[in-house]
Every structure is written in C-alpha cells, then in structure tokens.
C-alpha cells in the first residue's frame, strides 16, 4: 500500500500538509537524513531545497525501490535504523515511526548523536494523555503501540535543547494527536553581564549563580591575573595589559583592548577557562562591542544569553577619577590658605649615626598635623643599637628648659626585620625597640631625640605654627624619614 502522497499519487499520509507542519529549516548545501523515509517524499523535498547530501533509509524494500525510481539522485538504503549511515547530518527527520522502536528513548539519543553541532532532529510523534512519566499502550486500527506521555517525552529530551512546535497532521487510524518537535544538541550557556562597573553585575552573579555549577568569570580578576602573567595570551595583549592595567580604570583598559582589535583573544581566554561548561561573564564590554562578544561565543559553540537591566544610576559609588581628586585637592589648598588653626611643623634631622646607634624612625607626629588646642601630641617611632647598650635606650623630649625621658615600650618586628633581616640578635628579640607616648607642648620649639650611653641625638624638631605660615617647601617635605646605618 502506498503510504506517502505525491502530486499524482495518493497515499494514506497527507504528505504535503505534513511538510507544512514540520517547519524544516533551510537545507541548501546541508546534509539531510530521513530515518524511515518510506517512498522518499521528504528526501525529494531536500533535493528540491538544494541539500548537498541526502540519504533515506527504510526497512521496506518495496518502498525503497519506489524511492530510487522517483529520485535517482538520492542515496536510499533498505536497512534498519539500528545502523545509521556514517557521518553527521544538519537535518534528520523521523516521522510517524517512533512508536515502532523497541527502545524509543535509545533511538532518539542515537539520532541526536548523528547531528552536526548545529543540526536539528525533527521528530513527529503521537503524545498520549496522562500526567505520569511513562509510556501508554494505545489501541490503533491496525495494532497496539506504546506512546509517551508529555512528561515522559520531557524526561527523554531533558539532556537536549528542544521545543514542541505544535500539532502535526493526524494519521487515519491513530486515536491520539500527533506533534512536531525540534531537537538540538545542547550548547553550554554563556550568561553575559557586560554593563559598566558599579551597575550590579557582581551582586547579580552571587544571587543567581552561587548555588549552581556555572563557571563564574570575573573580568576584573582575569585582567589582574594577565598583568601578573598568570595566563598565556598573545604578546600584544600581554604588553597592553601589563602597561595599562589599573584596578581603578578597568573600563578604559577594556575600551583600548576592543579598539586595538584584541577582543577575540580575550574571548578565547574566557572560553578556555570555562572548559565548555556553562559560564557567567561578569565583565564590562563597551556597547558597540557587545554583539561581537556574542557572535564570537556562538561561533565557539556557546549559546550566549545577554542579561540586561535599565537603571538610572550605579548601585554602588564609583571611585573618584583624577579630575575629582585634583579638584578636591585645590579645594583643600584654598581652605588651608584661609584657615587660622595651628598645625605642627615637623623638621626631621639626619642626626649622626654611629656603630652604636644603627637606625631610627619617627612615625608621628606628621608634618601639617592639626595642633590640638590642649597641646596634646602623640609621639611614636623606634630606634635600634648594634649591641647590648650599657644603659637602655631612651627617647627624650626637650622643650626649652624642660626635658622628659621615656622608656621604649613597644615591640616592633617590622623594624627588626628592616634592620637585621633574618639575623636578629637575641637581645632585640626580647627587648622593646618602639616608643609611644603623649606629650603636652606649647608653641615653643621642642626637640625629640634618642639618648644612648649619655649621648643625645636629635631626630626631629616640633613647633606649632598658624596654618597659613607653613611654607610651601614645608608642605611638600617628605613626612616619613627613615635613617639607618648598615654594619
């Protein structure tokens, strides 16, 4: 009995109506396979549509014989679908025949495996009623066959990208509705968040993907790693990032990467880090280059999904740029010239160092510190001698005729390491070399010094002055003076 219908031959199947329902994609230059091809109707359509490679297989020798006569340009084989033709196909059709398979799920998996990376399997099948995930035995006019419920079909197709496109043409003798389903191999997803810094990308990433296996790629982190040569990238990209990377100006760096044509190299690195797994990209990309990112990722086998949101302002304050910092500096300078409060003028002295006094450092006060009205000043620092001194080191403050002496009272591992590196004398392991005390001074000049074996070494002079009397030279005076002598 003739199954498929042609222009001059009527069969039991409404082939032209079914062709409309199948929504077969563009076939020009593609490879096409019809599994259960009957008399070759759809292989003939593929020939008409310009397919480059066309194969039809069917278990009926009589149907294959008719197909060969009608379409001699097509390859037809009288064989079971247990053995599929070699190679990959851009479009595979399996129509009104799945219910004949002994293992329907296994057949679907086999057909999908024969697809090219972007190929589509067009499945036409009956779907039985029922809420459970199982096969239902259906009494047809000619026999009994098993059909999947919708939940069962969902279970079988779960590993793939698929969509039920709608109803197909019902077959006489079948009591259930037939449907058309398009099935594709899954691509890993690339969720792209490419908004500027401070727009909420990192927060959204944490909220949406924290409990998933999706690989998270932080553009800021990756650019930092490239600057430290932790990734293998082309030399031009490495040079650009090494010279221009600053954590405060990632947007400008990315703009330059894009404008110099090196965005494809960055995308390649992102995808190599994802290793063909689903990924979420948290990285700024300028608007005019976002489509290039999606195209590159699709070409590399990913399904890019761009996440976009409209907000009027940043969700977090951005760091001020150089312009704002310079403007604020000018603002402070103008105020400083008008302020009447007193500040500390700190003159640090490169006093004589001997083999007895190896080094010293005054941490505070700093040049230009506001001088409190109560005259209270915090004085701190450290000093080290080469060997066990005859008398302990002391720090003194000389204000006019008034002199006060203070003991060293703080451990300073940083000073010991700076002076002795790894060979720290036992004495200094157990002896404090740091000092810190509060002193009350007036407006007269006071000297801070180190006393070692009755020898006084002045290391700094302090004096409170009106703010506007500090000279420009003093304002620029280096606030941290480190004096040491190496044996």
Whether the bond into 83 is cis, omega within 30 of 0: no
- pLDDT single digits (tens) 112-151: 999 999 999 999 999 999 999 999 999 988 889 999 999 9
Distance CA 83, CA 181 (A): 23
User: What was the pLDDT predicted at 150?
Assistant: 95
Measured from the Cβ of residue 81, the count of other Cβ atoms closer than 10 Å reads: 17
Rounded to an integer, what distance in angstroms lies between the CA atom of residue 171 and that of residue 182?
A: 20
pLDDT digits (tens, 9 = 90+) for 263-288: 999 999 999 999 999 999 999 999 99
Q: How confident is the model at residue 455 (pLDDT cuts 50, 70, 90)?
A: confident
Q: Where are the domains of the chain?
A: 15-184, 189-306, 342-484
Cα–Cα nearest to 450, from 486, 411, 484: 484
- CA dist 176 and 164 (Å) reads 16
Write down the residue that tokens 């998270």 correspond to: 216
Contact criterion met (CB below 8 Å) for 81 and 36: yes
**Nearest CA among 29, 67, 69, 77 for reference residue 49:** 29
Task: Indicate if the pLDDT at residue 474 is higher than 60.
Answer: no
Q: Cα separation of 217 and 211, whole Å?
A: 15
Sheet strands (E) in 324-452: 342-348, 357-364, 376-385, 394-399, 402-407, 434-440, 446-452
Using CA atoms, how far apart are residues 414 and 397, in angstroms rounded to an integer? 24
- pLDDT over 70 for what percent of the chain? 89
Q: What is the CATH T-level fold of the domain 15-184, as seen in this structure?
A: Rossmann fold (3.40.50)
Tens-digit pLDDT profile for residues 27-61: 999 999 999 999 999 999 999 999 999 999 999 99
pLDDT in tens, 285-313: 999 999 999 999 999 999 999 999 876 55
Nearest CA among 234, 122, 215 for reference residue 205: 215
Average pLDDT over residues 96-116: 96
Angle, in degrees to the nearest 10, between helices 250-259 and 235-244: 150
Task: From residue 173, give the alpha-carbon distance in Å to each of 3, 10, 126, 139, 166.
Answer: 13, 17, 12, 9, 20
What is the Cα–Cα distance from 385 to 175, expressed in whole angstroms? 102
pLDDT at 484: 56
Q: Which fold has domain 342-484?
A: Immunoglobulin-like (2.60.40)
Question: What phi and psi, each to the nearest 5 degrees, are found at residue 156?
Answer: -65, -40
CA-nearest of 425, 439, 356 to 395 is: 439
Under the phi-then-psi rule, with left for phi > 0, alpha for psi from -120 to 50, and beta for the rest, what region is 295? alpha
Cα 432 from Cα 264, distance rounded (Å): 58
Residue 421's pLDDT is 84
Q: What is the DSSP letter of 288?
A: G
What does the alpha-carbon distance between residue 134 and residue 326 come to, in Å, rounded to a whole number? 72
Taking CA atoms, 195 is separated from 42, 204, 218, 283, in Å, by 47, 12, 13, 7
Mean pLDDT score of the chain? 88
pTM reported for the whole predicted model: 0.62
| Secondary structure of 166-222 as H, E, C letters | EECCCCCCCCCCEEEEEEECCCCEEEEECCCCCCCHHHHHHHHHCCCCCEEEEHHHH
Backbone angles phi, psi at 323, to 5 degrees: -60, -45
Decide if pLDDT at 333 tops 80.
Answer: no
The backbone torsions φ and ψ at residue 249, rounded to the nearest 5 degrees and listed phi first, read: -140, 45
User: What gap in Å lies between CA 45 and CA 380, rounded to an integer?
Assistant: 91
The two structure tokens encoding residue 459 = 């290391």
């Amino acid at each position: 009995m003739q199954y498929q219908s042609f222009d001059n031959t009527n069969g039991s199947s409404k082939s032209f109506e079914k062709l409309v329902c199948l929504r077969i994609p563009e076939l020009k230059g593609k490879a096409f396979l019809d599994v259960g091809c009957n008399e070759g109707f759809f292989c003939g359509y593929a020939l008409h549509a310009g397919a480059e490679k066309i194969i039809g297989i069917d278990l009926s020798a009589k149907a294959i014989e008719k197909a060969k006569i009608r379409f001699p340009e097509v390859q037809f084989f009288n064989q079971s679908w247990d053995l599929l033709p070699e190679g990959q196909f851009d479009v595979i059709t399996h129509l009104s025949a799945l219910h004949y398979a002994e293992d329907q799920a296994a057949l679907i998996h086999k057909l999908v495996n024969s697809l090219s990376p972007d190929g589509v399997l067009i499945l036409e099948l009956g779907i039985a009623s029922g809420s459970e995930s199982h096969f239902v035995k259906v009494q047809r006019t000619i026999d009994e066959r098993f059909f999947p419920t919708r939940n069962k079909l969902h279970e079988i197709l779960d590993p793939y990208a698929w969509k039920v496109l709608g109803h197909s043409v019902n077959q006489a003798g079948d009591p259930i509705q037939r449907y058309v389903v398009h099935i594709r191999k899954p691509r890993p997803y690339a969720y792209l968040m490419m908004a500027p810094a401070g727009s909420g990308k990192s927060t959204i990433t944490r909220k949406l993907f924290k409990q998933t296996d999706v690989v998270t790629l932080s553009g800021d982190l990756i650019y930092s790693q490239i600057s430290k040569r932790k990734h293998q990238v082309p030399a031009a990209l490495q040079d650009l990032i090494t010279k221009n990377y600053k954590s405060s100006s990632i947007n400008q760096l990315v703009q330059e990467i894009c404008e110099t044509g090196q965005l494809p190299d960055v995308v390649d690195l992102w995808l190599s880090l994802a290793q063909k797994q689903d990924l979420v990209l948290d990285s700024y990309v300028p608007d005019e280059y976002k489509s290039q990112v999606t195209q590159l990722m699709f070409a590399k086998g990913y399904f890019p999904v761009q996440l976009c949101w409209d907000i009027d302002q940043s969700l977090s304050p951005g760091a001020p740029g150089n312009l704002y910092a310079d403007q604020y500096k000018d603002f402070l300078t103008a105020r400083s010239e008008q302020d009447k409060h007193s500040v500390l003028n700190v003159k640090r002295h490169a006093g004589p160092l001997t083999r007895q006094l190896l080094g010293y450092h005054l941490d505070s006060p700093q040049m230009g510190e506001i001088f409190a009205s109560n005259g209270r000043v915090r004085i701190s620092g450290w000093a080290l001698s080469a060997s066990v001194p005859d008398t302990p080191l002391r720090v003194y403050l000389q204000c006019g005729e008034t002199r006060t002496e203070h003991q060293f009272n703080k451990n300073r591992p940083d000073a010991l390491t700076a002076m002795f590196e790894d060979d720290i004398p036992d004495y200094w392991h157990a002896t404090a070399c740091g000092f810190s005390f509060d002193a009350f001074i007036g407006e007269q000049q006071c000297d801070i010094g180190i006393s070692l074996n009755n020898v006084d070494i002045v290391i700094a002079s302090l004096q409170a002055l009106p703010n506007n009397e500090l000279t420009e030279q003093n304002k620029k005076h280096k606030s941290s003076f480190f004096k040491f002598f190496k044996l």
